[in-house]
């Protein structure tokens, strides 16, 4: 039986739109990485890393077929990880626009949660 340390959930369709546009083998690698994050107590930074100079934004790191992919995420209620936008990384630096979009998604999510309470 698998024990879970975290639960991963997608917010709206940002991540799902990206995921569904990928080929089946990349989708399997994404699923494998998300399962690793859910079931590993100490996730290696190679797969899950805090983004410098942000408050609470992380990137899930996926390498597949010589390409690099990133999924932005953040924590909610302790062990719940919310997936934001994702993209294929083509340069050494993560594009500022992608980080800004993830931060806006995180703010939208947090605002929605406050309204629900």
Q: Do the domain assignments include residue 43? A: yes
Is 24 inside a domain boundary? yes
Helices (H) and strands (E) in the chain, counts: 3, 5
Mean pLDDT by 10 residues, the chain (117 residues): 88 97 98 97 95 95 96 95 96 91 97 90
pLDDT at residue 72 in the model: 98
Domain count, the chain: 1
pLDDT score recorded for residue 24: 98
Instruction: Kindly state the helix (H) or strand (E) to which residue 108 belongs, with its residue range.
Output: helix 96-116
pTM of the model: 0.94
Task: For residue 56, give its domain range.
Answer: 7-116
User: What is the structure's pLDDT at 94?
Assistant: 86
- First and final CA of the chain: distance in angstroms? 34
């Amino acid at each position: 039986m698998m024990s879970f340390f975290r639960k991963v959930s997608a917010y709206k369709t940002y991540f799902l739109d990206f995921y569904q546009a990928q080929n089946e083998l990349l989708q399997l690698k994404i699923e494998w990485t998300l399962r690793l994050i859910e079931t590993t107590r100490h996730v290696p930074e190679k797969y899950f890393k805090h983004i410098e100079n942000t408050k609470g934004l992380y990137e899930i790191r996926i390498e597949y077929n010589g390409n690099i992919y990133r999924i932005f995420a953040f924590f909610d209620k302790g062990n719940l990880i919310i997936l934001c936008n994702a993209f294929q990384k083509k340069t050494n630096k993560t594009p500022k626009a992608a980080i800004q979009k993830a931060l806006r998604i995180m703010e939208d999510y947090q605002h929605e949660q406050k309204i629900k309470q």
